[in-house]
Structure 1
Amino acid sequence: MPHLTLEYTNNLDNFDPAGALAALNEALFDSGLFGESDIKSRAIALSTFRTGVNGTRRAFIHVRIALLSGRTSEARKTLADAALAALQGEIDDQPGTELQLSVETVDLDRPSYAKAVLNG
């Protein structure tokens, strides 16, 4: 744990999702809340999206961090802030584009979560 999902609109210039995932994983590890191999992340490019109702050129990146339940609100907020800072460090200027960045944390039900690690 955790599972991190990065969704981004495919109209971003010079965005490196692999680099962003590396920076996000590092931020999560630096929090001291997780073991190094417990951090799992993935990026999903969005080709169909809409922001708002007018024709302004817009883009967004949203990070969802799914955690086992039991973390305090303060710990979750600190983690979200660290992830947002890491993400901001990976974004080039987007001239002519309004770019929205957001991070959320969500709880996974600890009693019903199942995991196995297989070493081949």
Structure 2
Amino acid sequence: MPHLTVEYSSNLSGFPEAQMLAELNQTVTASPEIADEFDLKSRCVAHASYAVGTQTAGRAFVHVQLRLLSGRSPEAKLDFSQRIAAVLRRLTPQPEGLVVQLSVEIVDMDRPSYIKDRL
């Protein structure tokens, strides 16, 4: 816990995966809600097959999902969303001719059934 997944449309050429993950990890672990930076697992996934609405061209997306153990306040979740959105706005490429949709989703993981071990 937590898990962060960045999904984006493959038409965003030059998407800065390494920089995006590094900066998102920094901003998420800077929250007082995160006790140990080592707990954050993050990844980027580019999608070659996707649709944004009904048009076949001129659109792109970046979606970040942050999964956290349940029990966070609405204010803490909003803080995470705002931190993540600020990084997305700054680092997401904006190719000419593309409208890029950004979204952030905070998801509760069921605390009683979540298992994590260190080997």
Tell me the distance in 1 between the aligned counterparts of 2:108 and 2:69. 6
Aligned to 1:21: 21
Taking only aligned residues, the RMSD between alpha carbons, in angstroms, comes to 1.0
C-alpha offsets along residues 33-91 of structure 1, whole Å, 9 cap, x if unaligned? 21110111011110000011124410000000000000011100111110110122212
Tell me the distance in 1 between the aligned counterparts of 2:55 and 2:15. 24
Aligned residues between the structures: 118
Aligned to 2:45: 44
SS in 1 for 2:91: coil
* Residue type at the aligned position of 1:77: L
Tell me the distance in 1 between the aligned counterparts of 2:55 and 2:90. 29
Aligned to 2:110: 109
* Residue type at the aligned position of 1:50: A
C-alpha contact 1:23 1:87 (8 A) present in aligned 2: no
TM-score where L is the length of structure 2: 0.94
C-alpha contact 1:4 1:40 (8 A) present in aligned 2: yes
Q: % of aligned pairs identical?
A: 44
| Unaligned 5+ runs, structure 2 | none
Matched, 1:69 2:87: no
Structure 1 stretches of 4+ moved >4 Å: none
TM-score where L is the length of structure 1: 0.93
C-alpha offsets along residues 67-118 of structure 1, whole Å, 9 cap, x if unaligned? 0000011100111110110122212332110000110000000000001011
Aligned to 1:96: 97
Tell me the distance in 2 between the aligned counterparts of 1:57 and 1:103. 21
1:18: how far off? 1.5
C-alpha contact 1:58 1:97 (8 A) present in aligned 2: yes
